[in-house]
Structure 1
Amino acid sequence: MTALAAGGLAASDPIVNTTVFALFVAITLYVVYRAGSRSSSTSDYYAASSAFTGRQNGIALSGDFLSAASFLGIAGAIAVHGYDGFLYSIGFLVAWLVDLLLIAELTRNTGRFTMGDVISFRMNPRPVRAAAATSTLVISFFYMLAQMAGAGGLVALLLDIHTRLGQALIIGVVGLVMVLYVLVGGMKGTTWVQIIKAGVLMLAVVLIAVFLFGKYGFSFSNLLSAATEKSPLGERLLEPGGSYGKDGTTKLDFVSLALALVLGLSSLPHLLMRFYTVPNSLEARRSVVWATVCMLIFYGCTLVIGFGAAALVGADEIKNAPGGENSAAPLLALHIGGTLLLGVIAAVAFATILAVVAGLTITASASFAHDVYANIFKRGKAEPADEVRVARLTAIVVGVLAIAGGVLANGQNVAFLVALAFAVAASANLSTLLYSLFWKRFNTTGTLWGMYGGLIACLLLVLFSPVVSGAPDAIFKSLDFAWFPLKNPGLVSIPFSFLCGFVGTLVGRPKADAEKQAEMEVRSMTGIGG
C-alpha cells in the first residue's frame, strides 16, 4: 500500500469511480426533474411553497451543511492531529444549538424568502436589502469557491487526473450539473438533492464506522490504542496541542476560529433560507433538531473514521498522498474495501460538493432577484414570473463565476476559504440579525454600519493575515505584507460588527415607525401575520 502515497490512488479504478458518480448524478437529476415544479411563482421557486416537513428539512439542512471539508477534512485532521482535529466537530455541533435557540424560529416567522426580508422588515428597505444582498453574494461566492476548488483536488485524488486541464474540465462539469439542479428543480428539487445526498453520506460513514468497530472488537479503546501505536505523535494524538496550543498566538487563533464556526453557522444565508421551506415555526425548530441529530451521528462516525485512518493507513501515508490530509477517508476506504468502496466514497464526495454548491447557487440567485431586482430596481412591483426568470439567469451567471473561480483557486488553501465564509457570515450578518430581532431602538444606520463594518473588517484582516502572505503555507509565499497575527479574524471582526451596529444606532436617527417594530416583535414571537 505504500505505493499509494507515491503515485496517487493507483490501485483505484477511475472508470469505476466515474461510473458510480455518473449514476448518482443521473438518478438525482431525474428526481430533481420529477420533483421540480414548472410553476413560475416565487414562493415555489424560492421556498418550495413551504411544503416540506421538519424532518425532511432537517435532513436537507444537514445535507446542505456537510461539505467536502466536513467529510474529508475533519476525518483527515483527526487522523493526523488527533484531539485538535475533532475540535472542528465540536464547534459545528454547538453552532446548531445557537441556531435553534436564537435564529431558526424567529427568522421563519419574520421573513418570506431571504435574510434581507428579516433585517429590512422595520428599516429603510432599499439600502438594507442592498447590504444584505452584498453580504449574501460575498459569502456564497467564497463558500462556492472552496467547494469548486475542492472538486479539482478530489479529481486528482480519486480519479487519478493530475493535469490542470483535466481538473478544470471536471470543475466545469460540477458547475454545469449544479446549475441544472437549480434551473430545473428550484428549491424543491434542490431540497431533494440535499436529502438524497445526506442519506448516502450518512449510510457511507455509518457502515465504515461499524466495520472499524468490528475490526477492533467493538472497543473504542482498542481502536485508539492502535491509532496511537502507528501515529508519529504517539500518546499525544489523544491530547490537546497537536495542532493548536504551541504558543499564545495559536491559542488565540483557535479561539478565533471556534468563535467564527459557532456563530457563523447561524448566519449563513443558504442555511437561513432553508427555514422558509417549512410551513411554520414549529417545523423550523424540528428542522434544527433533526439536523443536530444527523450532525451528531455524522461527527461521531468521523471520529471513528479519523482514528481508524490513523490506525490502518498511518499519518505519513496520508500526508504524502495527493490531497494531503483530505486523502484520509479515501485511503481508508481503499484499504478496507478496495476499488469498489473507493468508487462509492468518490461518488459521495462529489455528491457532497454538488449538493452544497446547488444550495449556495439558489441562495445567491434568490438574494439578487428578490432583494435587488424585485425590491430595489422594481420597488416591490416585479411580476413573479419576471423575478423567477431573473433568478434563473442569475443562477447561470453565479455558476459561470463559480467555475472560473474554482479553476483559478484550484490548489489553493481550501480550508481558508471555508473558514473565511464562516467568519464573514458571523461578522456581517449575526449582529444585524440579533439586533433587528431583539433591540427596539435598532435603526437603518445601525444596520448598515454593522453589516458593512463587519464585512469590510473581516476581509481586510484576512488580507493582511499570515494566510495570505508572510507564512510558509500562505497563498502568496514569496510576499510578506501581513501585520494581523491571527489566521482567522473572527475574534476581532465579530465584536467589531456588534460595536459598529451599536454606535451606528446611537448616532443615526431613531426609527419612527413604532407600529412596524411592534408588528415584527409579535410576528417573530408568535408567527401571527406571517
Structure 2
Amino acid sequence: MSRYDVVLAATADGGQVGDPVVNIAIFGAFVLVTLVIVFRASRNNKTAADYYAAGRSFTGPQNGTAIAGDYLSAASFLGICGAIAIYGYDGFLYSIGFLVAWLVALLLVAELLRNTGRFTMADVLSFRLRQRPVRLAAAISTLAVVFFYLLAQMAGAGGLVALLLGIDGVAGQGLVIAVVGALMILYVLVGGMKGTTWVQIIKAILLIAGAGIMTIWVLARYGFDLSALLQGAIDAGGEEGSKLIEPGKQYGASALTQLNFLSLALALVLGTAGLPHVLMRFYTVPSAKEARRSVVWAIWLIGIFYLFTLVLGYGAGAIVGPETIMASPGKANSAAPLLAYELGGVFLLGIISAVAFATILAVVAGLTITAAASFAHDIYASVIKKGQVAPDGEVRVARITVLVIGGLAIVGGIFANGQNVAFLVALAFAVAASANLPTIIYSLFWKRFNTAGALWSMYGGLISCVLLIAFSPVVSGKVDPTTGASLSMIRDTSIDFAIFPLENPGIISIPLAFLLGIVGTLLSKEQPHPEKFAEMEVRSLTGAGAEKASVH
C-alpha cells in the first residue's frame, strides 16, 4: 500500500491528511517566528506613512519578494497544481494567464501609480478629478474587491487547515476560521504594512523554496526527463490520459465552455492590474528606481514559481493519480499535499501544509491592510473629515477598521465554509477589472477624462459585474450531470434564477465599464484641467513630487 493510499484511508475515517501533531507543530513554529518579527517591526509605526507604506523603507528586492508573496495565493499553489493534475494543458493555462496578468499590471500601471499616489489607489484616481465623489467610489470598489477576496480566502483556510489538522464538523472548522482571522487581525493591527510585508517576504521564500524542492524531487524520479514525467501522467490518466497534453480537456467541450474560459481569462488578466492590495505594495519603496527593481524581482520569482507548478501538477498526476486526487476530501486542491506525502512522508507534508497556511495568512493580512487604508485614508480622512485630520487619528481609525473587517471576514468565512466559494474569487477579479482598471487607464492616459466618466465607469462596472454574477450559474442552477448534485453556491437544485449563461461576467462588464467611462466623460459639461493632467503625467513618468502627494 502506497503512502497516499494510507492517507486516503485515514481521511475516510478521521478526516485528516498526515499527522495533525506534526502539522500543528510546524504551524506553531511559523506563527511564533512571524509574530516576533511583526512585533519588532511595529516599534517604528508612528505615522500614517509608517502604517500604510512601511515608511517607504523597503528595497526593491525586498518589495519584489513581498509582491510575489502577495500575488502567489493558495489558489496559485493548491489550485493550479490540482488543475494541471486533472486537466493537464488546460490547467496550465491558469499559470500562463496569471503570469501574463502580472506583466500587464507591472508594465502598464504599477510604476505610474506608485509615482502619482501616496497610500492608496484612490490617490491616483482623484488626483485631477473631484476628490470626494471619486475617492468614495474608489474606496467602495476597493472594499468590494477586498471583502470578496478575503471571504474566499477565509473559507478556504477553514477547509484546508481543518482537513490537515483532523478537525471535523461545522463548529470545528468555524473555530479554525476564527483562529486564522484572529491571527490576521493581530498581524495587521500591530505590524501595519511593515509587519505585513515581512510576513509576505517569509511566506514567498517558504512557498518558492518548498515548491522548488518538490520540483527537483519529482524530476529526480524521472531521471530529470520532462518527457518521461509527461508519459507517466498520461499512463496514470487511463483512457483519457493522452488528453492531458492536448488543449480542450476542460474548456473544449462546447462553444459555451470556450467562451467561459475567454471571459475568465479576460477578468484574470485585466483584473490583476486593478487589484488594490497588489498595487498598494508599490508605495513601500522610496523611489521609482526601487519600484522598477521590485518589478524585475517579482517577475523572476513569480515566473519561476509558475514553471514549478507545471512539474508539480503533472507530477501529482503521474505519482498520485487523478482518481486518487479526486477521491480525496479536498479533491483537486489535495494534489500538492498528497504529492508531498508520497515524496517525503509526514514531515514534508507538514512543511507543505505550513507553507499553504502561511500563504493564506499572508494574503489575508495584505488584503486587510488595504481595506483599512482605503477606509481610513479615502473615506474617513478625505470624505468625512475633508482632509482635516491628524495622522495619528487616521491610523487609529485604520486600526478600528482592521477589527471590523476582520470580524466580518470571520463571520462571512464561517457562513461560506463548505459552499462553493469560487464565485467569490471570480467576483473579486471581475470587480477589479470592471470597476478599477478602466478608471486607472483613463486617469493616467486620457487628457479629456473627467469626474463624471470616472463615476460612470466605477459604479457601472461594479453594479453590472455584481448583477451578472448574481444571475449566473455560479450562484444557482448549475447541476452535475452525473450525480445530479448542485455545483452552485445555492445547494437547492430546485432554485434556479440563472439567466446569464457565463460563469464569469468579464467579457460583458469590462468592455461595458470602458464604454461607460467614455460616455460619461463626453456627456458631462465638466471642463477638463489640462494643467492637472500635465502635472500628473510628469509625476507618473518621473516620480517628481511623489513624496509630497497629498489631499488637495
Q: After TM superposition, is the score higher than 0.5?
A: yes
Q: Which residue does the alignment assign to 1:515?
A: 531
Q: Which residue does the alignment assign to 2:488?
A: 474
CA distance in structure 1 between the aligned counterparts of 2:64 and 2:426, rounded to whole angstroms: 23
Q: Which residue does the alignment assign to 1:501?
A: 517
**One-letter amino acid of the counterpart of residue 45, structure 2:** S
Q: 1:484 aligns with which of 500, 506, 516?
A: 500
3-state SS of 1:36 partner: helix
CA distance in structure 2 between the aligned counterparts of 1:295 and 1:434, rounded to whole angstroms: 24
Q: Tell me, yes or no, if the aligned pair for 1:48 and 1:186 is still in contact at 8 Å.
A: yes
Residues 139-150 of structure 1 mapped to structure 2, 5 A cutoff: 139-150=145-156
Q: Which residue does the alignment assign to 2:363?
A: 356
How far residue 291 of structure 1 moved from its aligned partner, in angstroms, is 1.1
Q: Which residue does the alignment assign to 1:132?
A: 138
CA shift in 2, pair 1:512/1:255, >3 Å: closer
Residues 139-178 of structure 1 mapped to structure 2, 5 A cutoff: 139-178=145-184
How far residue 159 of structure 1 moved from its aligned partner, in angstroms, is 1.4
**1:279-321 CA-partner distances (Å, limit 9, x unpaired):** 1222222212211111111111111111111011111111111
How far residue 262 of structure 1 moved from its aligned partner, in angstroms, is 0.7
How far residue 213 of structure 1 moved from its aligned partner, in angstroms, is 0.6
Q: 1:266 aligns with which of 263, 273, 290?
A: 273
Cα root mean square deviation, aligned: 1.2
Q: Which residue does the alignment assign to 1:52?
A: 58
Q: Which residue does the alignment assign to 1:281?
A: 288
3-state SS of 1:246 partner: coil
Unaligned 5+ residue runs, structure 2? Answer: 480-486, 547-552
Give TM-score scaled by structure 2 length: 0.94
CA distance in structure 1 between the aligned counterparts of 2:382 and 2:104, rounded to whole angstroms: 30
Q: 1:4 aligns with which of 7, 17, 29?
A: 7
Q: Tell me, yes or no, if the aligned pair for 1:76 and 1:326 is still in contact at 8 Å.
A: yes
Q: Tell me, yes or no, if the aligned pair for 1:152 and 1:171 is still in contact at 8 Å.
A: yes
How far residue 526 of structure 1 moved from its aligned partner, in angstroms, is 1.6
How far residue 423 of structure 1 moved from its aligned partner, in angstroms, is 0.9
CA distance in structure 2 between the aligned counterparts of 1:483 and 1:288, rounded to whole angstroms: 42
Number of corresponding residues: 530
**One-letter amino acid of the counterpart of residue 7, structure 2:** L
Residues 85-484 of structure 1 mapped to structure 2, 5 A cutoff: 85-232=91-238, 233-472=240-479, 473-477=487-491, 478=493, 479-484=495-500
How far residue 6 of structure 1 moved from its aligned partner, in angstroms, is 4.9
Q: Which residue does the alignment assign to 2:41?
A: 35
How far residue 7 of structure 1 moved from its aligned partner, in angstroms, is 4.2
CA distance in structure 2 between the aligned counterparts of 1:443 and 1:284, rounded to whole angstroms: 28
**1:130-162 CA-partner distances (Å, limit 9, x unpaired):** 001100100000110111000111024311212
CA shift in 2, pair 1:10/1:440, >3 Å: closer
**One-letter amino acid of the counterpart of residue 476, structure 1:** I
CA distance in structure 2 between the aligned counterparts of 1:299 and 1:119, rounded to whole angstroms: 32
CA distance in structure 2 between the aligned counterparts of 1:209 and 1:514, rounded to whole angstroms: 53
How far residue 3 of structure 1 moved from its aligned partner, in angstroms, is 4.7
**1:385-414 CA-partner distances (Å, limit 9, x unpaired):** 000000000001000001111111111223
CA distance in structure 1 between the aligned counterparts of 2:451 and 2:509, rounded to whole angstroms: 20
CA distance in structure 1 between the aligned counterparts of 2:408 and 2:343, rounded to whole angstroms: 39
Q: Which residue does the alignment assign to 2:541?
A: 525
Q: Tell me, yes or no, if the aligned pair for 1:17 and 1:346 is still in contact at 8 Å.
A: yes
Q: Which residue does the alignment assign to 2:550?
A: none
How far residue 512 of structure 1 moved from its aligned partner, in angstroms, is 4.3
CA shift in 2, pair 1:220/1:450, >3 Å: same
How far residue 38 of structure 1 moved from its aligned partner, in angstroms, is 4.2
Q: Tell me, yes or no, if the aligned pair for 1:259 and 1:491 is still in contact at 8 Å.
A: yes
How far residue 416 of structure 1 moved from its aligned partner, in angstroms, is 2.5
How far residue 40 of structure 1 moved from its aligned partner, in angstroms, is 2.7
CA distance in structure 1 between the aligned counterparts of 2:488 and 2:460, rounded to whole angstroms: 26
**1:232-257 CA-partner distances (Å, limit 9, x unpaired):** 32111111111101111111111111
Q: Tell me, yes or no, if the aligned pair for 2:275 and 2:429 is still in contact at 8 Å.
A: yes
3-state SS of 1:480 partner: coil
**One-letter amino acid of the counterpart of residue 505, structure 1:** T
CA distance in structure 2 between the aligned counterparts of 1:502 and 1:411, rounded to whole angstroms: 42
Q: Tell me, yes or no, if the aligned pair for 1:157 and 1:327 is still in contact at 8 Å.
A: no
CA distance in structure 1 between the aligned counterparts of 2:288 and 2:460, rounded to whole angstroms: 31
Give TM-score scaled by structure 1 length: 0.98
**One-letter amino acid of the counterpart of residue 200, structure 1:** L
